[in-house]
Structure 1
Amino acid sequence: MWTLDELLDRVSAALTAEYSGAPNGRVRDVPDKRAVRWYATTGLVDRPSAMRGRSALYERRHLLQLVAVKRLQSQGRTLADIQAELTGATDTTLAAIARVPEHLLVDSGDAPPPEEVRPRFWAAPAAPPTGASAGAPILPPAGAASPPAGALPAAAGAAPTAPPALSGTSPASPAAPPAAPTPPAPPEAFALNGVALPGGAVLLIPGTPTAADRAEIAAAARPLLDLLQTRGLLNEREPS
């Protein structure tokens, strides 16, 4: 697995050998960190495979997706068209488009190091007494009132003796501890999927759209996009 910086280094190396850049000159040749995170939000690139502390980790498929996006952008394709083509694409399809050199796809295979576990000192058992104090009875301090007969602890190895009960009384049972309150159930969480639209607009939906769904959504959203463009609410430059 690679960090985001390591992933972008491999994307740059893959595009160096064969990449003419976007024809309109408005698209960044190599995506930056902000663009990669935006791609993951809109579904152009898969979300990170794992986390190492607060650092996201990426794999071979992320490299193929990013390079494939830049290859198609160099042909003048829009992000909406690229998203419709690459959504759900297999690694074989991505590899044919990206043409990434094989040595850049090699993963070290090292799993992220386990986080350090701090010892729970409060859970460790108490150390047994040693030396002459082992087995010695605990005596009250000088000047303290002597306990009633039978209340002194028994010698080591002897069975403890209960103090005599008062006549006409019975020992009281200990009170049961109160039951812990039941925590409320956490609210149900669901993931949102983004559909990229022209002008930098993104439509968030709870379902998982197919490539056909995205194309029909983009067509149906045309009146809304025209209104947003008239009011100056669209970004004239799409994120790279």
Structure 2
Amino acid sequence: MWTMDELVERVREALAAEYSGAPNGRVRDVPDRRAIRWYTTIGLVDRPLGMRGRTALYGPRHLQQLVAIKRRQAEGRSLAEIQADFARLTPEGLADASRIPAHLLATGDPPGAGPDRAERPRFWADRPATGTPAAAPDGTEATPAETEAIPAETGAARVPAAPVHGVTLGGGAILLLPRPVSGTDRAAIAEAAAPLLRLLESRGLIDGRTP
């Protein structure tokens, strides 16, 4: 298994040979740590396999998901379209979509090595997010997603998932809301968020780039 930095490097290697970059200039050619966390939040990428100390660990399926996302973005597909595709994608279909060389999928873990906790359920695959994405104030997408509380103890009852709607404010800041927003809502949010974004930028908490 790999750390997030190791995962990102493998994504870079897998894409280097043939990936031409997404047509939308707002989309990074290779996802960074923040983008991967966002993809996990909206269900495009599985949660980490587990933790080793305080370090999250990832495996071949995460690599396939990230590479498949970037290949689809290079074809001009939105995150909402990719999200819908992934809800129906089989393991074989994911392998075909990612087209990753076998040597990059090898984890190299010694026998018996593993994370501190078992892999969590793929909640998003059982209940894919629905809804039509709306444009956020800076022109990016407001993508519906689902969240759920994971029980602290094995065997505890799972809390039902509830949909949330992400509105990208700019600079990587994301506002999560329990209900969809209208065009009027988005304009009001953009106006109200401007002072906050200036404060975050002045403190170096956002960098002016959107994943």
Superposition TM-score tier, normalisation by shorter sequence: 0.5 to 0.7
1:34 partner amino acid: R
What's the CA shift for 1:95? 1.2
Aligned residues: 151
Per-residue CA distance 1:140-194 (angstroms, 9 max, x = gap): xxxxxxxxxxxxxxxxxxxxxxxxxxxxxxxxxxxxxxxxxxxxxxxxxxx8989
- Displacement of 1:25 in angstroms is 1.7
Change beyond 3 A, Cα 1:65–1:113 = closer
Q: TM-score, normalised by structure 1?
A: 0.55
Where does residue 4 of structure 1 map in the other structure?
4
Runs of 4+ in 1 over 6 A off after TM superposition: 191-194
Deviations 1:123-145, CA, capped at 9 Å, x for gaps:
xxxxxxxxxxxxxxxxxxxxxxx
- Largest Rg, 1 or 2: 1
On the 8 A contact 1:64/1:91 being kept in 2, the answer is no
Provide Cα deviations, 1:92-126, integer angstroms capped at 9, x if missing partner: 11111111111101121331488xxxxxxxxxxxx
Q: State how far apart, in whole Å, the 1-side matches of 2:59 and 2:146 are.
A: 26
As a proportion of its length, which structure holds more strand?
Answer: 2
Give the counterpart letter for 1:74 in structure 2: A
Q: Which of 174, 181, 184 matches 1:227?
A: 184
Identity %: 50
The aligned counterpart of 1:83 is 83
Look up the match of 2:39: 39
Cα RMSD (Å): 3.2
Runs (5+) with no aligned partner, structure 1: 115-190, 210-220
Once residues 115 and 50 of structure 2 are traced to their aligned partners in structure 1, the CA distance between those partners, rounded to angstroms, is 12
Q: Retained in 2: the 8 A contact 1:45–1:66? A: yes
TM-score by length of 2: 0.61
- Contact 2:60 / 2:107 at 8 angstroms: preserved in 1? yes
Q: How far did 1:238 drift?
A: 9.6
Give the C-alpha shift of residue 87 in structure 1.
2.1
Higher alpha-carbon deviation: 7-16 or 200-209:
200-209
Give the match for residue 197 of structure 2: none
